[in-house]
Amino acid sequence: MSEKTKYEIEFVVQSSPQLLYQYISTPSGLSEWFADNVNSRGELFTFIWDDSEEEAKLLSKKSGERVKFRWSEDDDNGDDYFFEMRIQVDEITKDVSLMITDYSEDDEIDENKMLWDNMVSNLKHVLGSA
């Protein structure tokens, strides 16, 4: 399997960092926009979409700031890939951004960025910030 490339995208979100954090860090929040359903047992999160189910391990989180996951498949393969959702607040304008860091095959980066774009669009809609 080829190496994956790390990429980062930024989305400006009209929301308080505290509210946004609830939507990126809790199973109930994530199931509002990221997957159809999300369950967690400790640091193991199960993301469910239509007919598929993926498990991810919560690698780290900092309250009100960021969450970092690794898909179980990458963990099993010994890969260091992860995806992180980080909240960034501009000190001057106080604009809130959601920074996404993810990895993808080179030929799938544009497609995956579009997928994140659609999911964050759902998140903004749920937050009333669309």
Range of the domain at 38: 5-127
pLDDT band at 2 (very low <50, low <70, confident <90, very high): low
| pLDDT at residue 68 is higher than 60 | yes
Quick: pLDDT tens for 83-122.
Answer: 999 999 999 999 999 999 999 999 999 999 999 999 999 9
d(CA 63, CA 19): 11
User: pLDDT for 32-51, tens place per residue?
Assistant: 999 999 999 999 999 999 98
The pLDDT confidence band at residue 129, using thresholds 50, 70 and 90, is confident
Domain count, the chain: 1
Query: Count of alpha carbons within 13 Å of 81, Cβ hemisphere only?
Result: 19
CATH (domain of 44): 3.30.530.20
pLDDT of residue 67 exceeding 90: yes
pLDDT at 38: 97
Rounded Cα gap, residues 77 and 128, in angstroms: 39
Residue 123 reports pLDDT greater than 90: yes
Q: Is 99 exposed, middle or buried (0-12, 13-18, 19+ CB in 10 A)?
A: middle
pLDDT of residue 76: 87
Q: What percent of the chain lies above the pLDDT cut of 70?
A: 98
pLDDT, mean of residues 47-75: 95
